[in-house]
Amino acid sequence: MSIHLVIFAALVIGVFASADPNYKPRPPQYGAPPRYEYVEIPHCAKNTTKSWCLEDSEYPQHEIQQAFDEHYQAVLAFYKDKLASTENSVDGLDKLNDEVYLCPSSTDYIRPLRAINVDGKWRTIINNVESYGIKYTQTARVEECDVVVGTPCPLVESCYNSKCIQKNMFHRFLVYNPYDENFPFAIEKFKFPGSCGCVVGAFHP
C-alpha cells in the first residue's frame, strides 16, 4: 500500500468519525491509558434511586491522582478555598437551626464519588484521592424525610392542615473533568436533601 493510500484512508476515517453524532473525543491521557471513559449516566447510577453514588467500580482513581500530581499547586489552592469559604461550600446551613422538627427524618454524612449537579449532569467528585501525602475528601450532610413527602406531620394536631416537605441544601464540590486538557478540575454546585420540614396551614374544626 502506497503512502498516498494510507493518508487517504486516515482522512476518510477522520471524516466518518467527525460525522458520527454519537462520537465523543477521548479524554486526555495522563501517563497510563485511562480505564475511565466518559458516559452521560455512570454505571453506579443503575444501582441507586438517589442523585449520588457512594460506591463506584469505575471511579477513575488513577487518572485523578495523576492529574492531581500534575496540577498540584492549583488544585491545592482550589481545595483550601473551598474549605475556608463556608458560605460558598454550604448554602443556608444556619437555617437548620431554625427548623422545628415535626416530621421524622434520617441524617447521614456522605462522601459521594459521583453526583448530579444543579444543571442535571452527572459529575465525578474528588473523594478519597491522595496526592503528595494529602488525602482529599469532601463530605456532605444529608437529611431525608422518613415519611412520604406530602403526608400530614405526625406531631401536629389533626385540626390543622399540615404536610411534611423535603428541603434541600446546596454544596460546592471539587470535580474532575477529563476533557479539559488545560485544567481538568472545577468547583460545581450540587443539591442534596438538607432537612425534613413541616408546613402548617389553617385551622379547621
Look at 75 and 2; give whichever has higher pLDDT: 75
Residues 151-168, buried b or exposed e (16+ Cβ, 10 A)?
ebbeebeeeeebbbebbe
| DSSP type of residue 18 | H
pLDDT digits (tens, 9 = 90+) for 138-189: 999 999 999 999 999 998 888 889 999 999 999 999 999 988 888 999 999 9
Q: What is the pTM of this model?
A: 0.70
pLDDT digits (tens, 9 = 90+) for 6-25: 333 343 334 334 444 444 44
